[in-house]
């Protein structure tokens, strides 16, 4: 039997990986269920209710403005100098009908064209966490139990063994991700039909969703590689998971607080989640409201800084090369014992 098939079977038999994958899929189902329950399809009844609510809010605001104007006039007549009222009571005017639009009172509805891209990002983020932990556990457990040492005695080609393990992990991760992505798309298409709208879905929109999905799959695979490489470096699952926790808590949360206290411009540009989000959304524009760029009309516009998916891809590639390269180098130079 080939080593690749053996590693696939070993990965499939690991209870931690099975339970972790199941937990990730259950979380995705919970997100889908929550979306279904919190949205509804817009019809004549919902539009009529929204128009009634807008009209009621308008009339209430008109009555409130008239009452406030009356109180102002009474206070001025009594000689009161209450700063609560303007100097001229005629300045108090009721709002216009246009200030209360029925669209503001519409119930939540799931527009597939406008909202599914956010769901792709959520899907990729959840499965990336699963892939990272599964990759770390897959190779880390082998070192902890001595299975890797026994395997290297049977197959002394260390780098080949490591890369075959990684190949088995990535192929399994890719298979699960693609199947889950197809189911994810189908579920939200059904939700949009039942609780929203699928209008304006052109070929260009589908192509954009497809490219976003491909970036999501790439993110999941990168997470699996990094988790696998870190656990291989430390020969322990805890090193990868502890390192990830350290980066999240100390390197991101702590760094963010430190940069904010130092009044560094564009604090988010130094944080990893910003680049991951830019990778999925193609670009993110950061704004510095402490800086004012006056326009010709005198409007104050904040200074901006744009992070693109190309910048994020460089970071992802560097991360993969460094972690996997280090894991391969240590695997080659270390003794089995």
How do the domains of the chain map onto residue ranges? 3-40+109-333, 44-105
Nearest 5°: CA angle at 86, between 82 and 92? 130
Burial class from Cβ neighbours inside 10 Å (0-12, 13-18, 19+) for residue 225 reads buried
Q: What is the pLDDT along the chain (337 residues), one digit of tens a residue?
A: 577 887 788 888 888 889 999 999 999 999 999 999 999 888 788 788 888 888 888 888 888 888 888 888 777 777 776 667 777 777 778 888 777 887 787 888 899 999 999 999 999 999 999 999 888 888 765 655 555 555 554 555 667 778 888 998 999 999 999 999 999 999 999 999 999 899 989 999 999 999 999 999 999 999 999 988 888 887 666 566 666 666 666 666 676 777 777 777 878 888 888 899 999 999 988 887 666 655 555 567 777 889 999 999 999 999 999 989 988 888 776 544 4
pTM: 0.81
pLDDT of residue 337: 44
Q: For residues 328 and 163, what is the distance between their CA atoms, to the nearest angstrom? A: 9
pLDDT computed for residue 302 by the predictor: 77
Give residue 265's pLDDT.
80
3-state secondary structure 196-256: EECCCCCHHHHHHHHHHHHHHHHHHHHHHHHHHHHHHHHCCHHHHHHHHHHHHHHHHHHHH
Ramachandran category for residue 36: left, alpha or beta (phi over 0 → left; psi -120 to 50 → alpha): alpha
Backbone angles phi, psi at 266, to 5 degrees: 55, 60
Please give the pLDDT value at position 336.
46
Distance in angstroms (rounded) separating the CA atoms of residues 205 and 199: 11
∠ CA 274-277-280, nearest 5°, is 150
pLDDT for the residue 141: 59
By CB atoms closer than 10 A (0-12, 13-18, 19+), residue 235 is middle
């Amino acid at each position: 039997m080939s080593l690749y098939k053996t590693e696939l079977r070993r990965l499939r038999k690991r209870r931690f990986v099975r339970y972790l994958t199941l937990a990730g899929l259950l979380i995705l189902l919970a997100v889908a269920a929550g979306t279904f329950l919190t949205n509804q399809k817009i019809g004549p009844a919902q539009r009529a209710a929204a128009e009634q609510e807008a009209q009621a809010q308008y009339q209430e605001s008109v009555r409130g403005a008239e009452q406030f104007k009356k109180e102002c006039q009474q206070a001025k007549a009594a000689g009161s100098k209450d700063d609560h009222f303007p100097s001229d009571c005629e300045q108090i005017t009721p709002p216009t009908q246009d200030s209360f639009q029925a669209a503001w009172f519409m119930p939540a509805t799931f527009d597939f064209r406008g909202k599914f891209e956010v769901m792709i990002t959520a899907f990729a983020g959840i499965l990336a966490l699963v892939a990272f932990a599964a990759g770390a556990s897959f190779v880390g457990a082998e070192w902890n139990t001595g299975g890797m040492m026994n395997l290297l005695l049977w197959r002394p080609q260390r780098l080949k063994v490591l890369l075959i393990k990684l190949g088995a992990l990535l192929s399994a991760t890719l298979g699960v991700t693609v199947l889950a992505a197809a189911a994810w798309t189908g579920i939200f298409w059904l939700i949009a039909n039942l609780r929203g709208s699928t209008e304006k879905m052109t070929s260009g929109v589908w192509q954009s969703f497809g490219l976003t999905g491909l970036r999501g799959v790439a993110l999941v695979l990168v997470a699996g590689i990094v988790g696998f490489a870190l656990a291989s470096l430390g020969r322990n699952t805890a090193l990868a998971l502890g390192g990830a926790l350290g980066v999240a808590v100390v390197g991101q949360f702590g760094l963010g607080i430190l940069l904010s206290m130092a009044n560094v411009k564009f604090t988010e540009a130094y944080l990893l989640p910003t680049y991951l989000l830019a990778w999925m959304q193609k670009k993110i524009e950061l704004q510095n409201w402490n800086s004012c760029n006056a326009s010709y009309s005198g409007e104050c516009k904040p200074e901006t800084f744009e992070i693109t998916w190309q910048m994020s891809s460089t970071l992802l590639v560097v991360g993969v090369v460094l972690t996997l390269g280090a894991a391969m180098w240590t695997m080659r130079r270390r003794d089995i014992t």
